[in-house]
A and B are shown apart, each in its own frame.
Chain A
Amino acid sequence: MNGGSILEGSDIQVRRGGRLILDVPSLAIAAGEVLSVIGPNGAGKTTLLQALSALLRLNRGEIRFRGARIGVDITPLNYRRQLAMVFQEALLFDATVTANVAAGLRLRGTDAGEVKRIVAAKLEQFGIGSLNDRSAKTLSGGEAQRTSLARAFAIGPQILFLDEPFAALDPPTRESLIEDLSRILRASGATAIMATHDQGEALRLSDRIAVMHEGRIAQIGPPAEVMNHPVDEFVAAFVGVETILPGRVVKCERGTVTVAITDNTASPASYNSRGNPGVILSGTGREKTAGEAPGERSLDSLSSDGMAIPPLTTGGRIDGDGYCLGEEAAGIGGMHRPAAVYLEAAGEAKTGEEVFCCIRPEHVTLARDLPPGRTSARNSFPAVIARIIPAGPFYKLYLDGGLPLAAYITVQSLEELGLRTGMTVTASFKATSVHLIRRG
């Protein structure tokens, strides 16, 4: 156990109707840390929060608050008086805003003068000072959630539990509330554990992110680690790696792994639990053709817009003899489907190992009139733009370059390059942008 932990859980198990719905062998949360718990609906996020806040009975395991065992060394009531919880619904009392913010303090029997002083400060801190006499039932969603947060902070919690607190708010309200909460959390130094299904919220607020799946913590770590180095296929799909391709390691040399994509028809959607649309395949890619010797490269001659497609530029020679020689190639949309595609990834792996190659859309760059090979990126190849979808300040482009690929580009880039559906571009990404996950 971590000596600096404010909260530690070990061997936590919760069952409902005989079914194990939470199984966390070990979890330690440092004082002042902001931990986000992300995962799809039913993953166990809320159950974990309720278990850690002593709001539900554990079937097994124990939770320690500052080293004291809850239910043994400290009563659940005394423990709960050290924390606060904010739910997705504001859950305000049928009373004025002031009475709501004062509720936790009054339950603790705090002196009336002190209550008045703290409540006034919290109302101002959350920008709801003008609403003090309003009935809580007449507040808008954002005002109600601000009141709920003010009520939580009023008791000066050592740990703040946030159960999808922004999920029911419209985007502008959510944005301003996240901004304020982030500022107040940092200023107060409170430890916070937040369940959310929004990775943006998690990234903005958290020191660490825990990804939950089927009642278990699939991965926990700093945001960059979880986002860029998912430990398994589920985490990769959930954290938004758009392109996840199964492959087999065919070569490892000087920290570079060459992977033969074994199913280059696999669309992101087929692995993505969030149901993002898949890539429509219709183009060319790097392939091994009949008569080609190991280590040689091949190319399709022309793209759909007549642009000459130069050879793909994956690094190193491809050794081995397991290549399809075109007999597995399939025509899609009247175009040629390559039999095998190779990617280079940075890292270590064993030849013959089955892996998933994960590529984030923000790591893919696009260029026009740039022959593949004129870039330091180890993976560069022509690709046809299959779909262009607006995604907030960006465009998300689905590409077919012999493998399905998604890329984010800015509005300016899209306009300056004059990109449109059906156009062939050069898609590039570095070997370090390909994250490998061992299969099985």
Chain B
Amino acid sequence: MEIILAGIKQALSLLISFDPEVLAITWLSLKVSGTATLISLFIGIGIGTAVALSSFPGRQIVVSIINTGMALPPVVVGLFVTIFLWRNGPFGYLEILYTPAAIIIAQAIIATPIVMGITLAAMQQLPRKLRLQILALGATRFQMVWLLIKEARLSLMAAVMAGFGGVISEVGASIMVGGNIKGYTRVLTTATVMETSRGNFDLAIALGVILLLFAFAINLVLTRIQQRERPR
């Protein structure tokens, strides 16, 4: 118990004192996970919407693959991204393994199916006739899709939260493709793992608390937006 209390105390002191290393790790975590979430939103909402609004042979299989992807193990993603970015791998020439870019790619791969699956479910929950109603109002295809996305925005907010929550707390892939290089690819989760393995529990707890506060603050903002939008 003392260890936990000491950890919380240290977390507060690190935050209050604006410890440069902690700030750098926190900022990198935000940058990496935020960028990965944005990429996943772009791809996930696009493909999720397309699948929801179309019918084609094998659609059920595609939906099953997307749903399976929502539970994609980060270490498996880390493994394959490492192989692909390895010096002799298909994308080795990019030379981005053990860089923040590699972590962004891995995290985007983890978050995309989550966003896609939630988008798919949100779009399918909209009344089927709403599409016809929008077209009958004189909308082009693009206007129709945009209006449908706007209609599903509260559910899509959940996709943002789930996607971001999934990658900010992920450690396996980040450590595999980022390498936890101090001052370069060290993020909150990888730093926590490292400090725990060194026996620096107070620092590990401090980083964990920062991670929790960080995730809580982001979700609080999104939840407030979501609840403000909800009709009373």
Contact surface of A with B, Cβ cutoff 8 Å: 50, 53, 55, 77, 80-81, 83-85, 87, 89, 91, 93-94, 103-104, 107-108, 135, 137-138, 151, 155, 161
Given A87-B133, A93-B151: A107 in contact with B139 (beta carbons within 8 A): yes
Cα-based distance from A53 to B127 in the complex (angstroms): 19
Q: Offer 30 A-B interface pairs, CB within 8 angstroms, sorted by A.
A: A50-B132, A53-B136, A55-B136, A77-B140, A80-B135, A80-B136, A80-B138, A81-B138, A83-B136, A84-B137, A85-B137, A87-B129, A87-B132, A87-B133, A89-B127, A89-B129, A91-B129, A91-B133, A94-B150, A94-B153, A94-B154, A94-B231, A103-B137, A107-B137, A107-B139, A108-B138, A135-B232, A137-B231, A138-B231, A151-B137
Of residues 138 through 154 on chain B, the ones whose CB sits less than 8 Å from some CB of chain A are 138-140, 143, 147, 150-151, 153-154
- Select from chain B the residue with minimum beta-carbon distance to A80: B138
New contact pairs (9) apart from A89-B129, A151-B137, CB-CB < 8 Å: A55-B132, A55-B136, A85-B137, A87-B129, A93-B147, A94-B151, A94-B153, A155-B138, A161-B136
List, in ascending order, chain B residues with CB within 8 A of A104's CB: 137-138
B4 in the interface, Cβ–Cβ < 8 Å?
no
Q: Please tell me the size bucket of the interface on B.
A: 20 to 34
List, in ascending order, chain B residues with CB within 8 A of A138's CB: 231-232
List, in ascending order, chain B residues with CB within 8 A of A93's CB: 147, 150-151
B130 in the interface, Cβ–Cβ < 8 Å?
yes
Cα-based distance from A85 to B150 in the complex (angstroms): 21
**Contact call B132/A85, Cβ cutoff below 8 A:** yes
**Contact call A85/B138, Cβ cutoff below 8 A:** no
B 193-232 binary contact with A (CB < 8 Å = 1; else 0): 0000000000000000000000000000000000001011
List, in ascending order, chain B residues with CB within 8 A of A87's CB: 129, 132-133
- Select from chain A the residue with minimum beta-carbon distance to B139: A107
List, in ascending order, chain A residues with CB within 8 A of B153's CB: 94
List, in ascending order, chain A residues with CB within 8 A of B132's CB: 50, 55, 85, 87
List, in ascending order, chain A residues with CB within 8 A of B130's CB: 91
Minimum C-beta distance from A100 to chain B (A): 10
List, in ascending order, chain B residues with CB within 8 A of A103's CB: 137
List, in ascending order, chain A residues with CB within 8 A of B150's CB: 93-94
Cα-based distance from A60 to B209 in the complex (angstroms): 66
Cα-based distance from A252 to B65 in the complex (angstroms): 74
**Contact call B138/A91, Cβ cutoff below 8 A:** no
Cα-based distance from A141 to B190 in the complex (angstroms): 54
Cα-based distance from A81 to B135 in the complex (angstroms): 9
Minimum C-beta distance from A97 to chain B (A): 12
Of residues 41 through 82 on chain B, the ones whose CB sits less than 8 Å from some CB of chain A are none
Of residues 105 through 163 on chain B, the ones whose CB sits less than 8 Å from some CB of chain A are 127, 129-130, 132-133, 135-140, 143, 147, 150-151, 153-154
List, in ascending order, chain A residues with CB within 8 A of B229's CB: 94
Minimum C-beta distance from A7 to chain B (A): 15
Of residues A55, A91, A108, which shows the largest number of chain B Cβ atoms within 10 Å of its Cβ?
A: A91
Minimum C-beta distance from B1 to chain A (A): 48
- Select from chain B the residue with minimum beta-carbon distance to A91: B133
Which are the 10 A-B pairs with shortest beta-carbon distances? A85-B136, A137-B231, A81-B138, A135-B231, A91-B133, A104-B137, A107-B139, A107-B138, A55-B132, A138-B231
Cα-based distance from A62 to B153 in the complex (angstroms): 38
Cα-based distance from A80 to B138 in the complex (angstroms): 5
Of residues B135, B137, B140, B229, which shows the largest number of chain A Cβ atoms within 10 Å of its Cβ?
A: B137
Cα-based distance from A50 to B132 in the complex (angstroms): 9
Q: Which listed residue, B127, B135, B140, touches A55 by the CB 8 Å rule?
A: B135
Minimum C-beta distance from B151 to chain A (A): 6
Minimum C-beta distance from B126 to chain A (A): 10
Cα-based distance from A83 to B137 in the complex (angstroms): 8
List, in ascending order, chain B residues with CB within 8 A of A161's CB: 136
- Select from chain B the residue with minimum beta-carbon distance to A88: B129
Cα-based distance from A428 to B143 in the complex (angstroms): 62
Minimum C-beta distance from B3 to chain A (A): 49
List, in ascending order, chain A residues with CB within 8 A of B232's CB: 135, 138
Cα-based distance from A337 to B154 in the complex (angstroms): 69
Minimum C-beta distance from B228 to chain A (A): 12
Cα-based distance from A104 to B147 in the complex (angstroms): 12
Of residues 147 through 201 on chain B, the ones whose CB sits less than 8 Å from some CB of chain A are 147, 150-151, 153-154
Minimum C-beta distance from A161 to chain B (A): 7
Cα-based distance from A137 to B229 in the complex (angstroms): 11
Minimum C-beta distance from A174 to chain B (A): 20
List, in ascending order, chain A residues with CB within 8 A of B129's CB: 87, 89, 91
Minimum C-beta distance from A261 to chain B (A): 47
**Contact call B135/A91, Cβ cutoff below 8 A:** no
- Select from chain A the residue with minimum beta-carbon distance to B129: A87
List, in ascending order, chain B residues with CB within 8 A of A135's CB: 231-232
- Select from chain A the residue with minimum beta-carbon distance to B232: A138
Cα-based distance from A91 to B127 in the complex (angstroms): 8
List, in ascending order, chain B residues with CB within 8 A of A53's CB: 136
List, in ascending order, chain A residues with CB within 8 A of B147's CB: 93
Minimum C-beta distance from B146 to chain A (A): 10
Minimum C-beta distance from A115 to chain B (A): 13
Cα-based distance from A93 to B135 in the complex (angstroms): 13
Minimum C-beta distance from B133 to chain A (A): 4
Minimum C-beta distance from A107 to chain B (A): 5
- Select from chain B the residue with minimum beta-carbon distance to A77: B140
**Contact call A85/B133, Cβ cutoff below 8 A:** yes
Minimum C-beta distance from A157 to chain B (A): 9
List, in ascending order, chain A residues with CB within 8 A of B143's CB: 107
List, in ascending order, chain A residues with CB within 8 A of B138's CB: 77, 80-81, 104, 107-108, 155
List, in ascending order, chain B residues with CB within 8 A of A91's CB: 127, 129-130, 133
Cα-based distance from A285 to B143 in the complex (angstroms): 68
List, in ascending order, chain B residues with CB within 8 A of A137's CB: 231
Minimum C-beta distance from A193 to chain B (A): 12
